[in-house]
Structure 1
């Protein structure tokens, strides 16, 4: 029997560490929308923040919300005006719907749109459900040799690709990455494919560092959480690079990681803040400015899915090793999956198979 819409279920975040699988009534299918049956949904750090604290940065969960935004599935129904997709197509979904009217959208910087409706970011319901409705132009067809799980990984990979574009990574750029979590690792994979000849990755966690080494980091450096250690850790990083650090990516976002990135980066280089660990920081900006170190920020991504899919199709990037844990879409497994992801350690990317 075909699963009807009335039986559509989703994982609802009801309170701190409280997820329940409950019915989810979808909006009607618009002329330019498709209905997608979810097959693979990953857990992101922001999902874990919502799960643990009912907030992530300035985004606060005020009412029950369907969670999740890293997703791929198969098209089950197409709107009357949709020409680009057919029923049965396997697609990766870009999770943010911008207004397309404001000056930022018209300028092509739609990721900064103030009216963005983003899966699983309050108050917009997310993707951890049997079925979702989404604009067809934000659903990207997957080639036969790219799996649905890899399709779901386009979302985190997009962050790394957008960061590398913003920082203008090229075969001349030597790169430092602070943080060997999922975003640090996809930034490393992206920097490599953009041509970075040498990549150093630093983290406090031994197991994450050895994972990064296996994934292709040239050098790994274990650092502490103590701000007093910045000076000697910077020397270690510079010695390991054996040349100027041209671009540093802070994929953590703490005073310590940002201070290290600013101090380690060579004159005329760039520091790109990717991680959002803190909303305010105390960092040595003046000495960095005196060396003309540019500080740039990123927020999510824009126009990245076609490139992600091309890299996955051509096997220039392999995201499969990042998927370390898999869970099914049952209440017990959903809670266990979020607990696993929240603990970090050897869990890099936790994925649901629906």
Structure 2
């Protein structure tokens, strides 16, 4: 079968690899149909390996070269003994977190995403979504509603990130929310905030093209280019009594963006760090104390989120199909996908690979 495999930074190759074996107990063979390109995929391509292991992974044993892709889904091709929640022919989406299911502190509490031995399909696993097939554990496969569009099987995973970030930020009816970073995760986080009842939305990004794309999807959002205006001033000016926003969610992994969140959030507000920072950064801790704010991390999502998020998408509450700006074939994924998304002057937001 055809697969896009990571060998090193700037070294992605379309290769012929063996199709997975027939599924064993508790396993599901999926014929992949759609896969998204995530920001973490771009980081691996640009300067990895980061999450992709060079030595066998402590839990899965996977190592380079790695089939890419963790935002994906398809159709069940075969099931192994003991699998009862999906059947051959079902459309499914992949929940890509792979961990021990018991016998660990976090696993025993259902917090699988916090396992110290976490692996991710498409990053530290034998299989990935940028291939014709993937062999998955049964808990990694969720049947999707009939009304969900086919390509949306690849949108559930990034949408779950945004929904969880809003949960962490306690976004609720009437909230005012700032998101820094107008990439797919930033925009879908704003969509999730609106679905949760937020009534005032702000988005900061230095890329005017992306701000315009976001505005076309969310006409009510107040867009701010931090290279031309103060994010804090813009947010304070548009919130009740100029106090600032209730929640600020950092979705890009940028020190300056995090500082903008601290400046823009109201006293006793909540800052959520969703983007992955490449290193340590300075923050004005006097202001953290003086403003009595909370700072919370937001790591992936609960592995039980798939039915909830699928319903949010299929009912139109989160219309994240509007994020998709290009659909490409697997053989064109490097040039028309990865390279296009990394182009500083590019006009792409979310690219879906049609397997």
- Structure 1 length as normaliser, TM-score? 0.91
Aligned to 2:118: 116
Cα deviation 1:23-80 (Å, max 9, x = unaligned): 3333551211110000000100111111121233x65556211111100100000112
> Are 1:212 and 2:214 matched, yes or no?
yes
Determine helix, strand or coil for the equivalent of 1:189: helix
How far apart, in 2, do the equivalents of 1:304 and 1:18 lie? 33
> Are 1:14 and 2:7 matched, yes or no?
yes
How far apart, in 1, do the equivalents of 2:312 and 2:108 lie? 27
How far apart, in 1, do the equivalents of 2:253 and 2:69 lie? 22
Deviation at 1:100, TM superposition (A): 1.6
> Are 1:293 and 2:296 matched, yes or no?
no
Asked if the contact 2:22/2:29 (under 8 Å) is kept, the reply is no
Aligned to 1:5: none
> Are 1:339 and 2:342 matched, yes or no?
no
Asked if the contact 1:13/1:66 (under 8 Å) is kept, the reply is yes
Aligned to 2:141: 139
> Are 1:349 and 2:347 matched, yes or no?
no
The aligned runs of 1:301-320 (5 Å cut-off) are 301-302=301-302, 303-320=304-321
Indicate which of 221, 224, 238 corresponds to 1:221: 224
Asked if the contact 1:31/1:82 (under 8 Å) is kept, the reply is yes
Aligned to 1:269: 269
Determine helix, strand or coil for the equivalent of 1:103: coil
Greater CA drift, 135-144 or 30-39: 135-144
How far apart, in 2, do the equivalents of 1:125 and 1:38 lie? 11
Aligned to 2:84: 83
Aligned to 1:3: none
Aligned to 2:58: none
How far apart, in 1, do the equivalents of 2:3 and 2:34 lie? 13
Aligned to 1:127: 129
> Are 1:197 and 2:218 matched, yes or no?
no
How far apart, in 1, do the equivalents of 2:17 and 2:293 lie? 49
Cα deviation 1:115-151 (Å, max 9, x = unaligned): 1121122465422111111122321112222122111
How far apart, in 2, do the equivalents of 1:111 and 1:250 lie? 20
How far apart, in 2, do the equivalents of 1:312 and 1:254 lie? 28
How far apart, in 1, do the equivalents of 2:170 and 2:135 lie? 35
Deviation at 1:83, TM superposition (A): 1.2
Q: Flag as ranges the 4+ runs of structure 1 deviating above 6 A.
A: none
How far apart, in 1, do the equivalents of 2:231 and 2:130 lie? 41
Aligned to 1:236: 234
Cα 1:125–1:279 change in 2 (3 A) is farther
Cα 1:38–1:59 change in 2 (3 A) is closer
Determine helix, strand or coil for the equivalent of 1:55: coil
> Are 1:180 and 2:173 matched, yes or no?
no
Aligned to 1:47: 41
Cα deviation 1:272-293 (Å, max 9, x = unaligned): 0011133211111221222110
- State the Cα RMSD in Å: 1.9
How far apart, in 1, do the equivalents of 2:250 and 2:217 lie? 19
Deviation at 1:114, TM superposition (A): 1.2
Asked if the contact 2:127/2:135 (under 8 Å) is kept, the reply is no
Aligned to 2:279: 279
- Structure 2 length as normaliser, TM-score? 0.90
Asked if the contact 1:117/1:124 (under 8 Å) is kept, the reply is no
State how many pairs are aligned.
340
Give the unaligned 5+ runs of structure 2.
Answer: 56-63
